[in-house]
């Protein structure tokens, strides 16, 4: 069972994590939720559409304007506190690699630290343990935060993903992070080219077989764009196709921009798998 904040999720229950970027230069929405009111409206909409987790980020993943820890905290800490006040039952995640920021957002009410850069600051896991927060352990191929991969090679990309993420997960558990609150993430696009990310998707069941809940962050990413030769705003269909494959292979948590569409895909896959009843059953019965 996955336990995050006040919520528990059965092992096979798909969970949506909605992205709320507190940045003026995010690659997808170009700062649409940088200001408080649009960001809070986005949270309200995401929860209404079926998101159980809100993932708040104060620094865009790619290269860009320098954002130090103080500025990252300024963008996220107060917002976390306000989301906690307005939505007491939602799981609040913060996308950060910095222990200093993790400490501040946990004090403000965050339930989960989403470390997308693969433990580059080892103290972040200690922060999660101290606060009883969850932790996402991600494979980033040893990349430094906010850098793009260049001619990265792996003898076996999934073997490397497993070695890194399982090592991070076991370390976090040894430090005191609750085992039921640790997730592993293959890190699509992070320290990988498109073929690496496609192979990671194709072999996702190997991560699922470890027993740790698997989080995938697929939404509108470059590996989708390159696979279909589509710009950022035309990657929804490819993202949803990848989501369906990931769900079939057993991923549990989905970090997304489009919540309602993802919810339908996950519900349809669950219905095909036989773990969810159809919403209605009229055909052939009238």
Among residues 221, 230, 263, 282, which one is catalytic? 221
60 is an active site residue: no
Q: How many CB atoms lie within 10 A of CB 31?
A: 14
- Give the C-alpha separation, 18 to 177, whole Å: 23
- Give the C-alpha separation, 235 to 126, whole Å: 37
Among residues 255, 263, 276, 282, which one is catalytic? 255
- The set of residues, in sequence order, having a beta carbon less than 8 Å from that of 242 and lying 6+ positions away, is 201, 218, 224
130 is an active site residue: no
- The set of residues, in sequence order, having a beta carbon less than 8 Å from that of 49 and lying 6+ positions away, is 259, 260, 263
Q: Which residues are identified as catalytic?
A: 221, 255
């Amino acid at each position: 069972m996955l336990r995050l904040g006040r919520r528990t999720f059965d092992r096979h229950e798909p969970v949506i994590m909605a992205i709320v970027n507190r940045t003026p230069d995010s690659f997808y929405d170009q700062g649409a939720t940088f200001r408080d009111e649009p960001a809070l409206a986005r949270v309200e909409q995401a929860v209404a559409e079926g998101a159980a987790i809100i993932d708040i980020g104060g620094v865009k993943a790619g290269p860009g304007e320098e954002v130090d820890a103080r500025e990252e905290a300024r963008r996220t800490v107060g917002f976390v506190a306000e989301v906690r006040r307005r939505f007491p039952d939602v799981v609040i995640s913060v996308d950060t690699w910095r222990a200093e920021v993790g400490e501040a957002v946990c004090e403000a009410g965050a339930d989960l630290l989403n470390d997308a850069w693969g433990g580059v600051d080892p103290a972040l896991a200690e922060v999660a343990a101290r606060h009883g927060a969850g932790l996402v352990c991600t494979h980033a191929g040893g990349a430094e935060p906010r850098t793009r991969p260049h001619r990265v090679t792996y003898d076996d990309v999934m073997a490397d993903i497993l070695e890194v993420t399982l090592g991070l997960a076991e370390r976090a558990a040894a430090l005191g992070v609750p085992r039921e609150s640790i997730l592993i993430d293959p890190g699509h696009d992070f320290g990988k080219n498109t073929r690496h990310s496609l192979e990671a998707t194709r072999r996702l069941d190997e991560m699922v077989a470890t027993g740790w809940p698997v989080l995938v962050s697929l939404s509108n990413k470059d590996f989708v764009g390159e696979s279909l030769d589509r710009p950022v705003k035309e990657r929804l269909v490819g993202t949803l196709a990848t989501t369906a494959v990931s769900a079939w292979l057993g991923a549990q948590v989905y970090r997304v921009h489009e919540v309602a569409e993802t919810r339908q895909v996950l519900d349809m896959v669950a219905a095909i798998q036989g773990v969810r009843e159809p919403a209605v059953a009229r055909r052939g019965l009238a």
